[in-house]
C-alpha cells in the first residue's frame, strides 16, 4: 500500500497543474482539428466502442471496492474491509458532484451531438464555452468519465501499487474510446484526469488518517 505523504501530495499537485496546462493548450490548438478529423475519417462511427465507455466506469469502480474489501480482510482488519468501500463510494459520488458543478460553470460545447440534442462542433458548428450554462447535457468540460475512471485507478493503485500499470491502462483505454467516439475533446479528458487525481489524492489522504486512527484504537 502506498503511503500518502507531503512528497506524494506535492508530486500529485505538479502532475495536476501539468494536466490542466495541457488541457488549456489542447483547447487552443488541438481539440477542434482533432475532433473534426476523427469525424471525417469515420472513426466515431465505430459504436462498438460505446460498450467500453459505458461499461468501464462500473467495472473499475466495482473492482476498486472489491480490492478494498479483499485487502483489509487479508490484513485481518474486518471493520475497515466494510468501511473502506463505503468511504470510497461516498468520495466517488462527491467527486462526481464536483465534476457536475465544473461542467455547469464552464458550459463547454461538445464535439458531437449524441444525447438530448446537445450543442456540438460537428452538428452545430459551435466551439467554445457558454459560461455558467452547462446544465443538463450541455457541459463537456471536464470529462466526467475520465474523472471517474482515474479516481478509481488511483484508489486501486493505493491498495495494490504493484498493479498500478494495469489500473491506469484500463483507465487510459476507456478515455481513449471517449476521444475516438467524439464524445469528448482531448482537453476535456486532460482536465478530467487532473480532477480525478486531485479528488483521489485528497480522499486518500483523509482515509489514511482514518485508518491510522483505527489502528491506534484497536
- Given a cut of 70, whether residue 216 has pLDDT beyond it is no
CA–CA dist 166, 151 (Å, integer): 14
Confidence of residue 215 (pLDDT cuts 50, 70, 90): low
Which among 141, 128, 137 has a CA at the least distance from the CA of 102? 141
Q: Assess contact for 185 and 146: CB atoms under 8 A.
A: no
Q: How many CB atoms lie within 10 A of CB 32?
A: 17
Establish how many alpha carbons lie within 13 A of residue 34's alpha carbon, considering only the half-sphere containing its beta carbon. 19
Confidence of residue 218 (pLDDT cuts 50, 70, 90): low
Q: By percentage, how much of the chain surpasses pLDDT 70? A: 95
Q: Which set of grid coordinates corresponds to residue 119?
A: 450543442
The gap from C-alpha 123 to its chain's centroid, in whole angstroms, comes to: 26
- 65-86 tens-digit pLDDT: 999 999 999 887 888 889 999 9
- 92-133 tens-digit pLDDT: 999 999 999 999 999 999 999 887 788 899 999 999 998 888
More confident residue, 152 or 48: 152
**Which pairs with CB-CB distance under 8 Å and at least 24 residues apart come from 57-62?**
57/145, 57/148, 57/149, 57/152, 57/174, 59/170, 60/148, 60/149, 60/152, 60/153, 60/156, 60/167, 60/170, 60/171, 60/174, 61/89, 61/92, 61/148, 61/152
Helix (H, G, I), strand (E, B) or coil at 129: strand
The gap from C-alpha 202 to its chain's centroid, in whole angstroms, comes to: 14
CA–CA dist 69, 202 (Å, integer): 21
The Cα angle at residue 139 between residues 136 and 33, in degrees rounded to 5: 145
- 4-63 tens-digit pLDDT: 777 778 888 999 999 999 999 999 999 999 999 999 999 989 888 889 899 999 999 999
Residues in the chain, overall count? 218
Residue 118 phi, psi (nearest 5):
-60, 135
- pLDDT, residue 6, reads 76
- 160-208 tens-digit pLDDT: 999 999 999 999 999 999 999 999 999 999 999 999 999 999 999 999 9
Amino acid at each position: 500500500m502506498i503511503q500518502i505523504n507531503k512528497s506524494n501530495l506535492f508530486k500529485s499537485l505538479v502532475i495536476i497543474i501539468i494536466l490542466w496546462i495541457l488541457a488549456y493548450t489542447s483547447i487552443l490548438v488541438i481539440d477542434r482539428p482533432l475532433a473534426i478529423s476523427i469525424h471525417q475519417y469515420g472513426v466515431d462511427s465505430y459504436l462498438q466502442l460505446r460498450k467500453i465507455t459505458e461499461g468501464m466506469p462500473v467495472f473499475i469502480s466495482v473492482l476498486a471496492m472489491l480490492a478494498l474489501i479483499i485487502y483489509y480482510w487479508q490484513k485481518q482488519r474486518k471493520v475497515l474491509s466494510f468501511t473502506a468501500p463505503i468511504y470510497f463510494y461516498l468520495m466517488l459520488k462527491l467527486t462526481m458532484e464536483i465534476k457536475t458543478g465544473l461542467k455547469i460553470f464552464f458550459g463547454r460545447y461538445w464535439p458531437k451531438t449524441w444525447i438530448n440534442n446537445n450543442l456540438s462542433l460537428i452538428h452545430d458548428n459551435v466551439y467554445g464555452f457558454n459560461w455558467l450554462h452547462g446544465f443538463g447535457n450541455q457541459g463537456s468540460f471536464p470529462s466526467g468519465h475520465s474523472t471517474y475512471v482515474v479516481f478509481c485507478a488511483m484508489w486501486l493503485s493505493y491498495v495494490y501499487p504493484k498493479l498500478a500499470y494495469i489500473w491506469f491502462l484500463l483507465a487510459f483505454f476507456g478515455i481513449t474510446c471517449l476521444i475516438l467516439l467524439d464524445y469528448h475533446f482531448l482537453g476535456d479528458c486532460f482536465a478530467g484526469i487532473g480532477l480525478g487525481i486531485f479528488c483521489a489524492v485528497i480522499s486518500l489522504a483523509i482515509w489514511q488518517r482514518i485508518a491510522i486512527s483505527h489502528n491506534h484504537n484497536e
